[in-house]
Amino acid sequence: MASTTEWKVPDPLTPPLKFSTVQPNLYRGAYPREINFPFLKTLELKTIISLTPSPIAPETDRKLYDFAIENNIRIVHLECAHLGKGKKRGVPIGYSAILEALNLMIHKEYGPVYIHCLNGGQVTSLVIACLRKVQFWSSIAIFNEFINFTSNITVNDRSFVEGFKGEINLNSKDKVDWLWVGMSKGVIGNHPKIRVTDVS
């Protein structure tokens, strides 16, 4: 007698728009929608960095807020402005917010991390470009990666990334393994724009 057992085909996993792996346990993309939740759950995220005008809260996005609570995910909101589109758009984020995002991305205790803006384009790309600058990437490599996720790169974008500077407080005992692969402390300590202070 033939078996009548039915096989349930699992629903396909749908990543957010423009989803990509930046480094191990660091992911980027667009604003997560409900259809993306099963996919995001497979990443076992500890932190979501939201680069948006409004924070994710019960009043603004109950479904994403509840998803984060249910999965023990910390949501960190770094406010960004709406500054238009096209070649004359402004830079919607400041260096202090980027330094805060970098602190979360380069320490193991916060990972895995998903960082997103509204569309996964300009704002997220600016933060990742500054991360790459900390990693000693060349300008050509930084902007080649940038253009993969945006329709164009403006003069304002370039100036912002090239001028990026600040201080990073690094706990070397909790630093992600991929940050400065193969580089000596002497090279890292002489970064032209970033002052690294070991607080471990």
Catalytic residue from among 117, 130, 142, 153: 117
Cite the DSSP H helix spans in the chain. 37-42, 62-70, 95-105, 122-134, 139-147, 155-162, 185-189
Q: Name the 3-class secondary structure at 153.
A: coil
> Is residue 158 a contact partner of residue 143, using CB atoms and an 8 Å limit?
yes
Neighbour count for residue 145 (Cβ, 10 Å):
16
Alpha-carbon distance of 59 to 96, in angstroms, equals 27
Please report the sign of the dihedral spanned by the C-alpha atoms of residue 9, residue 65, residue 101, residue 90: positive
> Is 117 noted as a catalytic residue in this protein?
yes
Active site residues per annotation? 117
